[in-house]
Amino acid sequence: MVDESLIQSRRILGIDPGVNITGYGVLDQRANKLEIVEAGVIRGGKGEIPDKVMKIYDGVKDLIDSVNPDQMAIEKLYSHYAHPMTSIIMGHARGVICLVASQSDIPIYHYASTKIKKVLTGNGRASKEQMQASICREFNLPDPPEPNDVADALAIALCHAYLGKQY
């Protein structure tokens, strides 16, 4: 019989940053078993960027205080030459999310979307549908989490769990 106290465990908070909707997924990992603890969204609401990032800051702070994660995994910024403003706006959300994690002494791990897709599906250019199918398969879910931001956050946390960083 295995002594349960000897099995390492950790709680991972996966974040899909956005100024309008920030998705999050919290996973407990104990040995090779993964379990969804909580998943949802934090809404930036209406208004100007300072108001939105304050809502994100407060929401992530409340989330961290309630679920007490050991680590955070967050998606890296991606800039498309046709839409450079998107990454600039996204940077505001990422900045306050990283600030909250840093203030809470939670280590942060950054993953490119292509890395997350490659780890979960074997294809760095996988579609949203392929990613959602991976999440459903891994956690035995009948339907993908809604909205897409939640599935994306779970995928980020799952990628981190699979790569085993700082376990």
- The residues assigned a catalytic role are 16, 75, 149
Contacts of 150 (CB under 8 A, 6+ apart): 16, 23, 24, 25, 39, 40, 41
Round to whole Å and give the CA distance between 125 and 15.
20
Chain-centroid distance of CA 4 in Å reads: 28
Round to whole Å and give the CA distance between 138 and 34.
9
